[in-house]
Chains A and B, each alone.
Chain A
């Protein structure tokens, strides 16, 4: 089946680390993505991880993938007020005739100064 789940809301203080979690159901997914949507803006690709990787780090962002539990997380170190946004995880199922991404509902990250 196709279902990606995320918690709806996360609040952190500026300077703390944020961890946004996501679970997915399609074990054949090849790529898993994190997109960010700032208020009034479009979806910005933050990072992605290939399914044969466990971790990917990119500056303040760390993506962890637990394939056994089908769990994906995005850690933002030293969270800033500019990180306040909605974060969407998305999976790209393997094979098939289409490239459609399966998105979660998004997690609203609120960073308190």
Chain B
């Protein structure tokens, strides 16, 4: 079974440009999450989709970030316009279901390393 995949693996852009990150969750996982790790700090939650609906977007930093999950399959996270402080590693994760139990364990992708110059 394929794991969570993310594209691109690395992205270097200039301040003010737009970048779109993509995440493909594990097949059959309704729950999809975005997290971010800024250099040397903790991994922070950005948002959570259940199928195509945003369940929780409390971690989104500001309105320069837009996440979508059309059709409830893959998701994109767009940053427009990018700022220097947006640099970091963006992780995507997916889980089978919500609620208690090991079935909700979140499996992470390899991350996209974003550098804004």
A residues lining the B interface (CB < 8 Å): 4, 30-31, 33, 35, 41-45, 48, 88, 90, 97-106
Contact digits for B51-92, partner A, Cβ 8 Å, 1 yes 0 no:
000011011000000000000000000000000000000010
Contact digits for B85-107, partner A, Cβ 8 Å, 1 yes 0 no:
00000010101001010101111
B98 touches A99 (CB 8 A): yes
By a CB distance below 8 angstroms, the chain A residues around B100 are 30-31
How far is A74 from B35 in the complex, measured between Cα atoms in Å?
A: 23
Chain A proximity of B99: nearest CB distance (Å): 9
A100 touches B59 (CB 8 A): yes
Chain B 1-38 interface residues, beta-carbon cutoff 8 Å to A = 4, 6, 31, 33, 35
Cross-chain contact of A98 among B4, B58, B91 (Cβ < 8 A): B58
Cross-chain contact of B111 among A31, A42, A97, A106 (Cβ < 8 A): A42
Cross-chain contact of B48 among A30, A41, A44, A100 (Cβ < 8 A): A100
B residues lining the A interface (CB < 8 Å): 4, 6, 31, 33, 35, 40-45, 48, 55-56, 58-59, 91, 93, 95, 98, 100, 102, 104-111
Chain A proximity of B21: nearest CB distance (Å): 14
Cross-chain contact of B91 among A33, A43, A97 (Cβ < 8 A): A43
Given A42-B111, A103-B44, check contact A97 B56 (CB 8 Å): yes
By a CB distance below 8 angstroms, the chain A residues around B93 are 43
B45 touches A100 (CB 8 A): yes
B108 touches A106 (CB 8 A): no
How far is A99 from B91 in the complex, measured between Cα atoms in Å?
A: 15
- 14 additional A-B residue pairs with CB within 8 Å, beyond A35-B108, A42-B111, A48-B105: A4-B42, A42-B6, A43-B91, A45-B105, A45-B108, A97-B55, A98-B45, A98-B48, A99-B95, A100-B48, A101-B45, A103-B43, A103-B44, A106-B42
By a CB distance below 8 angstroms, the chain A residues around B108 are 35, 42-45
B40 touches A45 (CB 8 A): no
How far is A102 from B45 in the complex, measured between Cα atoms in Å?
A: 7
How far is A101 from B37 in the complex, measured between Cα atoms in Å?
A: 13
